Amino acid sequence: MSPAAARTSNEAIIVAARALLEAGGPDAVTMQAVADTVGVRAPSLYKRFADRSALLTALADDVAADLARAVAPPTHIRDPQHALRRMAARYRAFAHRSPRSYQLLFGATGAQPTPATNALAAAGVLRVAEALVGPADALEAARLLVAFAHGFVSMELAGAFRLGGNVNAAFDYSLETLIRGLTSRPT
């Protein structure tokens, strides 16, 4: 069998790993399963990724970059409240469309995006937060918004909203309450 370099690519390996992740969770992403999916022998993957941890880091980078693209605000933010609503809706949609990939970013696997990818993923929400509250409070506002969205979506994916009611309305209500709170603060 020829080396992995000739038979596959990093992109194909990540695509295979992501499909395995969505189908069976992080435990399904083994070097053997990925190798089988891309049609190479497992040892040849080590020519591209030092170990499973390196593969999971590359996978986390891919997911974080995908999430960043999905929620990216417009280049020029004319209406920061609208941009935030759009970003929050896309964030939630991403988590629902790719729940295990989303959970990889915040799960117990130890897989974390690299600092550069993490900064890329945070850039959009920081820009929207700055447009909403100004530069002095942008980081704090961005952290609040991500904590809300992540907490809400994580509970939603876990089926934790069991009291009835409309979960979509609850998400919108919560977001609007945050927007009012952030924009009513004295600067």
Please tell me the pTM assigned to this model: 0.89
Which residues of the chain does CATH 1.10.10 include? 1-49
CATH number of 1-49: 1.10.10
CA separation for the pair 29, 34 (Å, rounded): 7
Positive or negative, the CA dihedral 29, 30, 35, 37 is negative
What does the pLDDT look like over 98-152, one tens digit per residue?
A: 999 999 988 767 788 888 988 988 999 999 999 999 999 999 999 999 999 999 9
State the average pLDDT for the chain.
Answer: 91
CA separation for the pair 145, 173 (Å, rounded): 14
Check residue 113 and give its pLDDT. 87
Overall CATH class of domain 63-183 = mainly alpha
Which residues of the chain does CATH 1.10.357.10 include? 63-183
- Both tokens of residue 131? 């447009």
- More confidently predicted of 7 and 167: 167
